[in-house]
Chain A
Amino acid sequence: MKRIALLGMPNTGKSTLFNRMTGGAARVGNWPGITVELLSGKILLGGDMVEIIDLPGIYDLHGFSDDEQVVRHFLHDNVPDLALVILNTTQIERQMSLLLQLKQLNINFVVMLNMADEAKKFGITVDVTKMSALLELPIFLLSAKYGSGYPEALQAITRALRYPTPGMAEQLRSQLEQDEHIEEEMARVLQHSVQVPARLSDQLTEKLDSVLLHPWLGLPIFFAVMYLLFQGIFIFGQPIQAGVATGFTWLREAALVPLLGGLPQAIQGLLLDGIYNGVATVAAFVPIIVLFFLFMAMIEDSGYLSRAAFLMDALMARLGLDGRGFVMLLMGFGCNVPALMGTRVMRSRAMRLLTMLVIPFSLCSARLQVFIFFTAALLSAKAAPVVLFSLYLFSFATAILTALIFKSRFKNSEPFVLELPPYRFPTLRQMVLRGWVEVRHFLRRATKFIVAGVVMVWLLTHLPPSAVPASHDTIAGMIGSALQPIFAPIGINEQLTIALIFGFIAKEIVIGALAVIYGLSGTALSGVLGHQLDWVQAYSFMLFTLLYTPCLATVATLQSESKQTTFTLLSLVWSLGLAWLVSFAFYQGARALGY
């Protein structure tokens, strides 16, 4: 099968083009370095199946960061039949250098000048015919986002694939060191084929930045935006979640109970009280997850994350981290796993490890479900969003504390130089695609962990068969009692302890597990919890849930990214220890104050 590799600098739209070509869903964001994994897709081109690979963006082939090495090794080991080089037209005067570096590699090329829509807005004109002639390469103007120029480009790609690969040059590195030649060549091509206005006319970005990056308004605005975001998710999402949960309960009573009535009692229990209650309670959160990721996609695609890096770098520098680390924390709000992988753009291993140590404290969307459920069950509609926001502040505070404590062990002098892209607005298509990806991701986790998890919980709370379900005599009851000396001082009862143990696998299971343990779902479960716990216990439980190990996938990623078992263990022990200490301090403190 022929192979096409997408190459270019970070944030030039490679993933957007990849999605357009394959109909796939590579994660797109207005943040340099969002592609950290190699993604591939197969499509039919000119009658043959062709594989397309989306490579991480690189600034130059000499690079020393992990992602640049990934690209170099990939090109070495898998010579593509065609390299599709994507350049950002608005930055062509500097991106040309990468094209010229690549050109020396002696592969088949097709060049895409992407973001033609933006370039037009900025008043940059490119004489493509002239540039093609000067470089002796096929060059096309394209807007991967809106699709203009795409059919012509696709035709050229199909044509180019007919020619055989010239073969990879042997001495890759020595060839690449001809920087001087590249400088001259660049000046020659640009001078003849590109016109850039003296001053960019991106008024909108300038105006937005003058407010959003204001010396002392910038940070308050940032936190206000965050607050409104979470408030929005709670206010819009919670009623939908409650509605869906009610729907699931109705479905159970109206259809499933009569349908399964003929089955033996134990099987009925496992199917209805175990799997159905557990999975339905978790599935009710899908609308919130979609809403959350739509908001996240909007912020990520807009370019505001780079502004957050700019605003927070001064603080992060004092913690031994940098602005990128802060952005990774924000991305961790979605899911910790990609945020951990995103640290690959850091060259200094010490800084990378320190960033990876703080990311698991980032309040991910799975934990968000637990908190929305608990705050809605125990607190008034007015207090709930405020309490939710306080957990986000706790999430930041523990990340800061962790960095302060460990920064001397992970000393580094990593330079901080980062592009600041203009603001961009995501298309509806991009946002819908992103929401769909997250739902699919959730469903995959659901089938893998949640079903297995709730079945386990059901078995533990119903075995041995002689015991009364969920009583002290069941296996779960025995485990819960055995662990009470550890959990009683932080106000967590036996049932919640079992849920926490399963939360180690994935936080989505926590609510599902509680549904199974109490044999209730949706609003009925909220009612019982609200009755059984007071707010001090609930907050202590939420603090523990926030801080202890996020999920097995995060632990596995910590290990695969650090390749150092002692580091993974440090992260595990530290987060468990900190979770207990913080919950203990809060619970005992609140009780001592008479709450």
Chain B
Amino acid sequence: MCATTLAALHSGDTATIVSIHAEEALHLRLLALGFRTGKRIEIIRKASFSGPLQVRIGTTDVMLRRIEAAKIKVLKS
């Protein structure tokens, strides 16, 4: 168990969301997509050339950029 951001995780890792530090619009979109404190999140893969991440929360797969992922604090399990 160690605290880090979503961007620092590798594919195959799972973690728990600790907090989201994003501006209001992005925060609302993330909430609507299921990003909530305490939710488990799995990194499915990372695109090459520093491309986006594919993550899974519950039954939803979401892609997001590393910049956005860096705004999400997680606890790696």
In this assembly, does A247 line the interface, its C-beta being within 8 Å of a C-beta of chain B? no
Known pairs A313-B51, A314-B47, A314-B51; A419 contacts B62 (CB<8 A): yes
User: B25 — which chain A residues lie within 8 A by C-beta?
Assistant: 64, 347, 415
Residue pair A417, B33 in contact (C-beta under 8 Å): yes
In the complex, the answer to whether B62 meets A418 with C-beta atoms within 8 Å is: yes
A410 close to B (CB within 8 Å)? no
Given known pairs A309-B63, A314-B47, A314-B49, the reply for A420 and B29 (CB within 8 Å) is: no
B49 near A94 (CB under 8 angstroms)? no
Nearest CB of B to A198, in Å: 10
Tell yes or no: A23 within 8 A of B by CB.
Answer: no
Q: Tell me how many residues of B have a C-beta within 8 Å of chain A.
A: 31
Residues of chain A within 8 A of B8, CB atoms compared: none
Mask: chain A, 415-431; 1 = CB below 8 Å from B; 0 = not: 11111111000000000
Shortest C-beta distance, B60 to chain A (Å), equals 5
Interface centre among B22, B45, B63 (most CB of A within 10 A): B63
- Residue A595 interfacial (CB < 8 Å): no
Contacts of A582 in B (CB 8 A): none
Q: Does A49 contact B (CB under 8 A)?
A: no
Q: A91-B60, A313-B51, A416-B52 are in contact. Are A59 and B65 (CB under 8 A)?
A: no
Q: How many residues of A contact B (CB 8 A)?
A: 42
With A310-B47, A314-B52 given, is the CB distance from A62 to B62 under 8 Å?
no
0/1 interface trace, chain B 57-71, chain A, CB 8 Å (1 if under): 111111111011000
A223 an interface residue at 8 Å Cβ cutoff?
no
Look across to chain A and name the residue whose beta carbon is closest to the beta carbon of B62. Answer: A419
- In the bound assembly, the distance between CA atoms of A97 and B32 in angstroms comes to 8
Q: Does B48 touch A at the CB level, under 8 Å?
A: yes
Nearest-neighbour CB distance to chain B for A423, whole angstroms, equals: 11
**Are B33 and A59 closer than 8 Å at their CB atoms?**
yes
Expressed in whole angstroms, the minimum distance between the Cβ of B29 and any Cβ of chain A is 6
B3 an interface residue at 8 Å Cβ cutoff?
Answer: no
Q: Is A25 engaged at the interface, CB distance under 8 Å to the other chain?
A: no
- Measured between beta carbons, the chain B residues less than 8 angstroms from A122 are 59
Interface bits B35-50 vs A (CB < 8 Å: 1, else 0)? 0100000001101111
Docked CA distance A218–B54 (Å): 14
Q: Contact check, A9 vs B52: say whether CB atoms are below 8 A apart.
A: no
User: Which chain A positions have C-beta within 8 A of B34?
Assistant: 91, 93-94
A533 interfacial by beta-carbon distance below 8 Å: no
Give complex CA distance A97, B36 in Å: 12
Partner of A94, one of B22, B32, B44: B32
* A568 beta carbon closer than 8 Å to chain B: no
List 6 A-B pairs, Cβ < 8 Å.
Answer: A63-B29, A124-B59, A310-B52, A314-B47, A317-B51, A415-B68
Supplied contacts A60-B31, A94-B57, A415-B64, 7 more A-B pairs, CB within 8 Å? A93-B58, A97-B31, A98-B32, A213-B54, A317-B51, A347-B25, A421-B61
By a beta-carbon cutoff of 8 Å, the part of chain A in contact with chain B is 9, 59-60, 62-64, 90-91, 93-94, 97-98, 122, 124, 179, 183, 196, 200, 209, 213, 215-216, 218, 306, 309-311, 313-315, 317, 322-323, 347, 415-422
Closest 9 CB pairs of A and B: A314-B51, A59-B32, A94-B34, A314-B49, A420-B61, A417-B64, A215-B48, A415-B26, A416-B65
